[in-house]
Amino acid sequence: MNNLRTVIVCLLAINIVTALGVVYSKHNSRMLFKKSRVLSDSIDRANVDWGRLQIEESTLARYGRIEELATKELKMRLPEHTEIKTVLK
C-alpha cells in the first residue's frame, strides 16, 4: 500500500512538471511568434521605403531634369557647332 502511494505521488509530480513544461513552452512559442510578426512588419515597411526611394531616385536622375538643372542653376548650355574641337591622338 505504501509503495502504491509513492508511485501515485511520483506520477502526480511528473504530471505537474510536464504540465508546467507545456505551459512554459506555449508561452515561449507565443512570444517568438509575436517577435516574428514585429520583424515581418519591419521588413514590409523597409520594402515600401525602398520602393519609394527607387521611384524618387529615378525621378531625380531623369535626363531632362539634369539638363534643366544644368541650364538654370549652373548656367550651362550646349556648345555651338563651331565651339567643338576634336582632339586626335
Contact criterion met (CB below 8 Å) for 55 and 49: no
In the chain, what's the furthest Cα-to-Cα distance? 118
Q: Do the domain assignments include residue 33?
A: yes
Q: Is the dihedral of CA 77, 80, 86, 87 positive or negative?
A: negative
DSSP states along 30-41: HHHHHHHHHHHH
Q: Do the domain assignments include residue 89?
A: no
Reported as a single tens digit per residue, the pLDDT across 3-39 is 999 999 999 999 999 999 999 999 999 999 999 999 9
**Nearby residues of 71 by Cβ (< 8 Å), 6 or more positions away:** 77
Q: What is the total count of domains within the chain?
A: 1
69 against 36, higher pLDDT: 36
Q: pLDDT-based confidence at 78, cuts 50/70/90?
A: confident
